């Protein structure tokens, strides 16, 4: 009986192997690549690269799948749990922690080519490293910059900052107060999503907020360095009235009509917003890109790069990694960056002349690339819940003047650490 069972198992395994071999030889592998590109130029660049791959690879075909930034986290979670995740996943590094620790993403450590590993700086790789594994390839990033009304600043005679000589946070506050009056404001803060902007800009002042102990557990401590940026925004809105409270619940795009109409001298925005400004600005409107203010740590700024990952359940991880390597060759990375109006992470790609022109502020943005590092919350488990349930409402109330600095600290630390503790038991 035991012999017959053993023989039957061997036969079954051979049949399964034969079926697998037949399906493999009967047609090309198909990889599903879910892209979150949304701007026309970016979608076109991604689709063109997929077509170029398919034209030169008869045995491995890539199917382009359009995703959305608005719903990607929940959509991916559903697809992971249902066993229907795309092979290649476009996301952002600050969305990867729970997926990586949850076992949904493949560790790319042994799948990446030496060219790709050495071509992207270590500081960028840290944004997608969780524990001892790499769970995404960071390829596009954007600093936050100041988009400024050139005419307004020139008429006011203020010093124009450069990456070599930026404004300090104190100087920035003084200048926005100087530019304000008669129903006009020196700056408009679009802080519908206040947490990322606050934490990432706070790195310039030496802020960290999240502190990992010797036991590996993370706690929130709202120290003096963490308070520089929040206090600047709060005082501009509540004390100086150099920033309107009406934009605090707005997204970046919502501030552009007022910016074009001359209500705000400056708007802090992600670097990629320049495309919308080029498309929407009135004829003759003069604008420029300025670096964000600098603090004790200079122009340091946290970023959560866009990433490419591979699903842990994908049966074709090697082929998926080969496609990612193709997609992120230096010339291709430049095409993706130009399409998204962002900066590539790759060192060779960053040297492309197209990214060093003064037109539309490309050179200013590229000069900031070396100051970009992992966002403070990058590897913190439970960050999405802490952000949504604790930090977002607390910062919104503080910026509007509804609560003071002490209450803000209490909520971020006391309430926040209760949330994080549940993820670290």
State pTM to two decimals. 0.89
Residue 149 near residue 287, CB atoms below 8 Å: yes
pLDDT at position 2 is 44
Residue 285 near residue 256, CB atoms below 8 Å: no
Per-state percent for the chain, helix, strand, coil, to nearest 5: 50, 15, 30
Sign of CA pseudo-dihedral 100, 105, 110, 114: negative
**Would you state the structure tokens that stand for residue 42, as one six-digit string?**
């970016």
Residue 368 near residue 163, CB atoms below 8 Å: yes
CA 18 to chain centre: 44
How far is Cα 58 from Cα 46, in angstroms, rounded to an integer? 19
Written as one string, the DSSP assignment of 91-143 is: EEGGG-HHHHHTT-B---TTTS-HHHHHHS-HHHHGGGEETTEE--EEEEE--
Residue 20 near residue 74, CB atoms below 8 Å: no
How far is Cα 177 from Cα 175, in angstroms, rounded to an integer? 5
- Tell me the residue length of the chain: 425
Residue 143 near residue 292, CB atoms below 8 Å: yes
How far is Cα 306 from Cα 137, in angstroms, rounded to an integer? 8
How far is Cα 270 from Cα 256, in angstroms, rounded to an integer? 13
* Closest CA relative to residue 251, chosen from 203, 197, 204, 294: 197
Instruction: For residue 64, give the 3-state DSSP assignment.
Output: strand
pLDDT at position 26 is 62
Any idea which residue has 């496609």 for tokens?
323
Number of other residues whose CB lies within 10 A of the CB of residue 251: 13
**Would you state the structure tokens that stand for residue 301, as one six-digit string?**
């700024």
SS3 track for 400-414:
HCCCCHHHHHHHHHH
pLDDT at position 3 is 47
pLDDT at position 175 is 98
Residue 374 phi, psi dihedral angles, 5° rounding: -60, 135
- Sequence spans of domains, the chain: 26-141+304-374, 144-291+382-422
How far is Cα 378 from Cα 127, in angstroms, rounded to an integer? 6
pLDDT at position 10 is 42
Would the CATH topology of 26-141+304-374 be identical to that of 144-291+382-422?
yes
Number of other residues whose CB lies within 10 A of the CB of residue 181: 11
pLDDT per residue as tens, the chain (425 positions) = 444 444 444 444 444 444 433 344 567 999 999 999 998 999 999 999 999 999 999 999 999 999 999 899 999 999 999 999 999 999 999 899 889 999 999 999 999 999 999 999 999 999 999 989 999 999 999 999 999 999 999 999 999 999 999 999 999 999 999 999 999 999 999 999 999 999 999 999 999 999 999 998 999 999 999 999 999 999 999 999 999 999 999 999 999 999 999 999 999 999 999 999 999 999 999 999 999 999 999 999 999 999 999 999 999 999 999 999 999 999 999 999 999 999 999 999 999 999 999 999 999 999 999 999 998 887 788 888 999 999 999 999 999 999 999 999 999 999 999 999 999 88
- In CATH terms, the fold of domain 144-291+382-422 is D-Maltodextrin-Binding Protein; domain 2 (3.40.190)
Number of other residues whose CB lies within 10 A of the CB of residue 82: 8
Residue 96 near residue 130, CB atoms below 8 Å: yes
Number of other residues whose CB lies within 10 A of the CB of residue 7: 10
**Would you state the structure tokens that stand for residue 356, as one six-digit string?**
């060093």
Sign of CA pseudo-dihedral 80, 82, 85, 91: negative
Helix (H) or strand (E) holding 303: strand 301-303
- In CATH terms, the fold of domain 26-141+304-374 is D-Maltodextrin-Binding Protein; domain 2 (3.40.190)
How far is Cα 333 from Cα 331, in angstroms, rounded to an integer? 5
């Amino acid at each position: 009986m035991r012999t017959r069972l053993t023989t039957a198992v061997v036969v079954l395994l051979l049949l399964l192997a034969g079926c697998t071999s037949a399906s493999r030889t009967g047609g090309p592998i198909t990889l599903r690549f879910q892209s979150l590109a949304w701007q026309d130029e970016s979608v076109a660049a991604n689709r063109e690269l997929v077509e170029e791959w398919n034209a030169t690879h008869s045995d491995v075909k890539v199917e382009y799948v359009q995703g959305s930034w608005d719903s990607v986290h929940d959509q991916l979670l559903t697809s992971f749990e249902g066993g229907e995740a795309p092979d290649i996943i476009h996301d952002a590094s600050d969305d990867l922690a729970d997926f990586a620790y949850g076992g949904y993403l493949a560790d790319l450590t042994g799948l990446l080519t030496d060219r790709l590993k050495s071509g992207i700086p270590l500081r960028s790789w840290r944004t997608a490293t969780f524990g001892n594994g790499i769970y995404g390839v960071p390829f596009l990033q954007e600093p936050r910059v100041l988009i400024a009304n050139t005419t307004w600043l020139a008429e006011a005679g203020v010093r124009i900052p450069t990456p070599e000589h930026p404004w300090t946070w104190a100087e920035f506050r003084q200048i926005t107060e100087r530019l304000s009056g008669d129903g006009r404001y020196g700056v408009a803060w679009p802080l519908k999503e206040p947490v990322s902007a606050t934490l990432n800009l706070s790195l310039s002042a030496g802020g960290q907020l999240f502190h990992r102990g010797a036991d590996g557990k993370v706690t929130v401590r709202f120290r003096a360095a963490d308070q520089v940026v929040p206090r600047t925004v709060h005082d501009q809105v509540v004390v100086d009235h150099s920033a309107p409270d009406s934009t605090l619940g707005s997204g970046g795009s919502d501030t552009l009509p007022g910016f074009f109409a001359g209500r705000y001298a400056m708007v802090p925005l992600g670097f990629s917003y320049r495309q919308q400004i080029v498309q929407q600005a009135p004829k003759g409107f003069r604008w420029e890109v300025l670096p964000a203010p600098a603090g004790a740590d200079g122009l340091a700024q946290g970023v959560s790069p866009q990433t490419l990952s591979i699903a842990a359940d994908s049966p074709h991880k090697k082929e998926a990694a080969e496609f990612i390597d193709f997609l992120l060759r230096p010339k291709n990375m430049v095409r993706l960056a130009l399409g998204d109006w962002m900066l590539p992470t790759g060192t060779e790609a960053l040297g492309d002349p197209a990214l060093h022109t003064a037109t539309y502020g490309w050179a200013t943005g590229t000069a900031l690339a070396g100051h970009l590092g992992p966002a403070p919350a990058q590897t913190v488990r439970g960050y999405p819940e802490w952000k949504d349930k604790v930090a977002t409402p607390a910062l919104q109330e503080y910026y509007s003047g509804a609560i003071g600095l002490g209450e803000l600290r209490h909520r971020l630390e006391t309430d926040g650490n209760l949330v994080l503790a549940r993820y670290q038991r």
